[in-house]
């Protein structure tokens, strides 16, 4: 079996992960485009929240299986089937969220997300700073995001409070940008921590979730609702 010391193994691994990731993003943002540009589809998804909640359930179950079951995410073709179902579920949820925002906002946030992700990826390829050693910081920021989200949820009965939503969205965008840097360096190796070359599905899953969450938080932060 190849190791991280074998540059060819790492190169093939990284290429495979980014190929899977590109396919996931094409499907996801293709669905976002349909939900945003097609008014009949937009009206349909808004009127059928049951499909959203079903997709959320599918997303949650497939995510748990892929994260918790090493055998499932390494076994071909089961791993690709699970990842495909997971991607479609998350794509539907993302598309439904985007349908509530103006087309201009969605395009703007797509552009911002693309620039942020490109900048983070290039930075991770060049920098000597090791994000994989910052587990403590990532945990603290994640807890801060969770608590802010809970505050936002519990204040809903008292009416919409813009500054709380802005803080939550801003913090979320920062946290998942840092997670993107963290997961990218795990993928590249030669750091304090790295992931096995056998974990191409896990690597693609991690980067995909980071990018989609950056996009959704950018929408909440900069988007204009229809």
pLDDT in tens, 23-33: 999 999 999 99
Is the pLDDT at 196 greater than 80? The verdict is: no
Is the pLDDT at 2 greater than 50? The verdict is: no
Helix (H, G, I), strand (E, B) or coil at 101: strand
User: Of the candidates 217, 128, 136, which has an alpha carbon nearest to the alpha carbon of residue 177?
Assistant: 217
d(CA 33, CA 161): 29
Query: Considering the entire predicted model, what is its pTM?
Result: 0.89
User: Of the candidates 66, 187, 172, which has an alpha carbon nearest to the alpha carbon of residue 132?
Assistant: 187
Average pLDDT over residues 190-203: 77
Average pLDDT over residues 90-115: 92
Per-residue pLDDT band for 1 (boundaries 50, 70, 90) equals: very low
Structure tokens at 84: 């495909």
d(CA 177, CA 115): 11
Q: Scanning the structure block, which residue is given the tokens 């359930």?
A: 57
Please list, in sequence order, all residues whose beta carbon lies within 8 angstroms of the beta carbon of residue 205, skipping any fewer than 6 positions away: 63, 66, 67, 73, 83, 86
pLDDT in tens, 105-141: 999 999 999 999 999 988 888 878 777 777 788 889 8
With beta carbons less than 8 A apart as the criterion, state whether 37 and 64 touch.
no
What is the pLDDT at residue 155? 79
User: Of the candidates 86, 91, 224, 117, which has an alpha carbon nearest to the alpha carbon of residue 180?
Assistant: 117
Per-residue pLDDT band for 6 (boundaries 50, 70, 90) equals: low
Domain ranges of the chain: 7-222
Q: Give the residue with greater pLDDT, 42 vs 87.
A: 87
Helix (H, G, I), strand (E, B) or coil at 4: coil
Q: Torsion-angle region of residue 189: left (phi > 0), alpha (psi -120 to 50) or beta?
A: left
């Amino acid at each position: 079996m190849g190791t991280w010391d074998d540059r060819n193994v790492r190169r093939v691994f990284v290429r495979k992960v980014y190929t899977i990731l590109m396919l996931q993003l094409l499907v996801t943002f293709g669905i976002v485009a349909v939900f945003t540009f097609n008014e009949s589809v937009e009206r349909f998804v808004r009127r059928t929240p049951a499909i959203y909640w079903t997709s959320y359930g599918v997303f949650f179950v497939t995510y748990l299986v892929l994260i918790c079951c090493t055998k499932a995410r390494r076994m071909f073709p089961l791993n690709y089937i699970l990842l495909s179902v997971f991607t479609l579920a998350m794509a539907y949820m993302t598309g439904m969220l985007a349908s509530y925002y103006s087309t201009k906002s969605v395009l703007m946030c797509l552009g911002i997300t693309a620039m942020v992700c490109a900048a983070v990826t290039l930075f991770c390829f060049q920098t000597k700073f090791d994000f994989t050693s910052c587990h403590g910081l990532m945990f603290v920021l994640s807890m801060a995001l969770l608590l802010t989200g809970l505050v936002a949820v519990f204040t809903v009965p008292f009416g919409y409070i813009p500054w709380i939503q802005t803080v939550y969205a801003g913090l979320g965008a920062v946290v998942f940008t840092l997670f993107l840097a963290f997961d990218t360096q795990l993928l590249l190796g030669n750091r304090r921590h790295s992931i096995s070359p056998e974990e191409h599905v896990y690597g693609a899953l991690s980067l995909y979730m980071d990018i989609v969450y950056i996009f959704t938080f950018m929408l909440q932060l900069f988007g204009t609702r229809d």
